[in-house]
Amino acid sequence: MEDAAISAGFLRVAGVDEVGRGPLAGPVTAAAVVLDPGFIPDGLNDSKKLSITKRTYLADILMEHADVSIAHASVEEIDTHNILRASHIAMCRALAGLKRPPDHVLVDGSMIPRDLAIPAQAVIKGDARCLSISAASIVAKNCRDRLMVDLAQQHPGYGWETNMGYGSKSHMSALQNLGVTPHHRRSFKPVHNILYQGKNIRY
C-alpha cells in the first residue's frame, strides 16, 4: 500500500497503529512509522502474530533504521473522551512526533482520526496488510508491554506483567480482592461495577 501511495505522488508515507484498546488498565499507545525503503526488516507482521522475542528484535531494528514516534493517551483521557477518541488522540500525537511530517498516512482500522490534517487512508486489518502499519503495531505493542511490566512492579498482584491490563481471570480476581488502582479505566464496565459496589481504591 505504501507503493500505491508513492505512485500517487506522496513521497513520505507513514503507517500508524494503536494497541491497548481492550485492557482494563493502562494507557492506549500508538506508534507512527515511516520506513526506510532501503532497509525494511524481514518478518514485519501483525504484532499479535509474533513471538515476544521476534517482536522485541524487530522493534529494536525499527527504532534504529526507521523514523519512529510513540505516544500515549492516558487513563484519564480514556475515561473523559472514550477509548476510540483516546486512541485517535494517541495516533495524532505519534504522527506529530515524527522527525519530519509525512505527506500521507495509512491508518489501521476503518476510521481516520478527525483531527488529522494530513491526507490519510484507513486500512482495515492494516497491521496484517501494510508494512508500515505492521511496523507501527510492533513498536507500539513492544512499548506498551514494557510499560505495563513496569506498572506491575508498582502495583503487584494484578498480573499486569503477563496480562498487560486485559481482563484475565486473575486480573478480575485481583480487582475484587485488592480494589481499583489509579491506572484502571473507571469508564470500563468491570472497573465501574467494582467501584459502584463500594470496593476500596488503591493509591
Those residues with Cβ within 8 angstroms of residue 17's Cβ, 6 or more apart along the chain or in another chain: 30, 31, 91, 107, 108, 126, 127, 133, 136, 137, 140
What pLDDT is recorded for position 200? 53
pLDDT at 77 over 80: yes
pLDDT, position 197: 79
pTM, 2 dp = 0.93
Question: Is 18 marked as binding a ligand?
Answer: yes
Domain range annotation of the chain: 2-144, 154-196
Q: State the pLDDT at residue 11.
A: 87
**Mean pLDDT to the nearest integer, 63-68:** 97
Three-state secondary structure of 137-179: HHHHHHHHHHHHHHHHHHCCCCCHHHHCCCCCHHHHHHHHHHC
77 is in an annotated binding site: no
Check residues 124 and 197 and name the one with the higher pLDDT: 124
CATH 3.30.420.10 is the classification of domain 2-144:
yes
pLDDT confidence tier of residue 143, bands split at 50, 70 and 90: very high
List residues bridging with 16 in a β-sheet.
32, 107
**Residue the block writes with cell 503495531:** 137
pLDDT in tens, 1-39: 787 887 888 889 999 999 999 999 999 999 999 999 899
Q: What's residue 39's pLDDT?
A: 92
The residue ranges of DSSP E strands in 20-103, in sequence order, are 28-34, 67-73
